[in-house]
């Protein structure tokens, strides 16, 4: 995506110091933000809430045997806008043949949940910055590592929109808003996924071995991104 294609060079990837400095409890204002947005802890790390799921459906391009839109049966919708399953037994299968056309979430990193651990999705994911500052680390299928800072200091090359391609592993972590890490630090973003999010499309990086197979010697530097 043009949102990150031109990002080059290296940004140092360093584990945040919230734990080592004993900064364990978000400030009152960050706690208020969590409460006001109704966020819950996410298994990736951080906090999140799904704020929208499209009531419209599309064929899943990831369903086994799907032709990814080049030919075949079109999707049929019933009067209620529910999909008419060509094979009703598919509804029982683990991998759904249909997806909601989109989902939207809030995602928040805080001093007590300062990273999202390495995972990937079949779908590209659109990220939009709302508040704060953080860093992303992407690991491409060919082992390329890309890292960039998300924030509002555009002159320093920070970005406010970033689209992570499908099948690219991503991790994220909180950066201090000023010189020193503080309980007030936060990164609030919105994420849009098309087709809508399903766990079937999602995968955590499984092991140090998987990371090492992708990035070789850099696995030592990046291994902390495996554990939220």
Cis-peptide, bond into residue 162, ω within 30° of zero = no
Q: How far apart are CA 26 and CA 34, in angstroms?
A: 10
Find the binder of ligand GUN among 60, 102, 103, 172 (CB under 6 A). Answer: 103
123 lines the binding site for ligand GUN (CB under 6 A): no
189 lines the binding site for ligand GUN (CB under 6 A): no
50 lines the binding site for ligand GUN (CB under 6 A): yes
197 lines the binding site for ligand GUN (CB under 6 A): yes
Q: How far apart are CA 165 and CA 122, in angstroms?
A: 8
Q: What are phi and psi of 2, to 5 degrees?
A: -55, -20
Residue nearer to ligand GUN on the CB measure, 122 or 218? 122
- How crowded is residue 82: how many other Cβ atoms within 10 Å of its Cβ? 11
Q: What are phi and psi of 39, to 5 degrees?
A: -80, 150
Residue nearer to ligand GUN on the CB measure, 103 or 110? 103
Least distance from ligand GUN to the Cβ atom of residue 32, Å: 23
Residue nearer to ligand GUN on the CB measure, 125 or 137? 125
Binding site for ligand GUN (CB under 6 A): 50, 103, 105, 197
């Amino acid at each position: 995506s043009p949102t990150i294609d031109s990002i080059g060079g290296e940004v140092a990837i360093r584990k945040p110091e919230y734990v080592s400095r004993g900064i364990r409890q978000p400030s009152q204002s960050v706690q208020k933000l969590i409460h006001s947005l109704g966020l819950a802890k996410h298994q990736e790390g951080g906090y999140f809430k799904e704020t929208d799921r499209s009531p419209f459906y599309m064929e899943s391009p990831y369903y086994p045997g799907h032709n990814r839109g080049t030919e075949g049966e079109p999707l049929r919708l019933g009067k209620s806008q529910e999909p008419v399953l060509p094979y009703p037994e598919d509804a029982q299968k683990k991998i759904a043949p249909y997806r909601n056309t989109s989902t939207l979430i809030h995602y928040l990193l805080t001093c007590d949940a300062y990273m999202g651990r390495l995972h990937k999705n079949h779908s590209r994911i659109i990220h939009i910055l709302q508040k704060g500052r953080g860093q992303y680390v992407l690991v491409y299928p060919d082992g390329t590592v890309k890292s960039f800072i998300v924030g509002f200091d555009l002159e320093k090359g920070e970005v406010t929109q970033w689209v992570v391609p499908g099948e690219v592993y991503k991790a994220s972590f909180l950066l201090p808003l000023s010189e020193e890490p503080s309980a007030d630090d936060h990164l609030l973003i919105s994420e849009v996924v098309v087709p809508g999010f399903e766990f079937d499309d999602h995968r955590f990086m499984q092991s140090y071995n998987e990371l090492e197979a992708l990035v070789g010697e850099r696995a030592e530097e990046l291994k902390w991104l495996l554990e939220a």
